């Protein structure tokens, strides 16, 4: 049960990262520039910003995932058996 919950949580984090990487930018009014090099420079800068934002988001998600892993490890260490194992003695 715990493994199922953890795998669902990890799957959600990965899905969130994938979806955030697919984000779209706002539509802006296009100015027709006579120099294609200037236009490409703006596009390159925009793409670089998007990559930086995506990388930042991935770092945040990886940090959250690491924290969740530590929490899970701590809970596993603290988990105690519900009752001591029973030892059956032979009937005489």
What are the structural domain ranges in the chain? 1-22+55-77
Residue 70, pLDDT score: 95
Give CA–CA dist 57/73, Å, rounded: 24
Rg, C-alpha atoms of the chain: 26
Is pTM beyond 0.85? Reply is no
Measured in degrees and rounded to the nearest 5, phi and psi for residue 83 equal -150, 155
pLDDT tens figures, 45-87: 999 999 999 999 999 999 999 999 999 999 988 886 666 666 7
Give CA–CA dist 66/61, Å, rounded: 9
Give CA–CA dist 73/69, Å, rounded: 6
């Amino acid at each position: 049960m715990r493994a199922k919950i953890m795998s669902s949580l990890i799957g959600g984090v990965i899905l969130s990262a994938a979806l955030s990487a697919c984000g779209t930018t706002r539509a802006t009014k296009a100015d027709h520039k006579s120099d294609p090099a200037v236009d490409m420079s703006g596009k390159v800068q925009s793409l670089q910003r998007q990559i930086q934002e995506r990388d930042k988001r991935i770092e945040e998600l990886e940090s959250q995932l690491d924290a969740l892993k530590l929490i899970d490890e701590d809970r596993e260490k603290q988990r105690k058996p519900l009752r001591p194992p029973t030892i059956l003695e032979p009937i005489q």
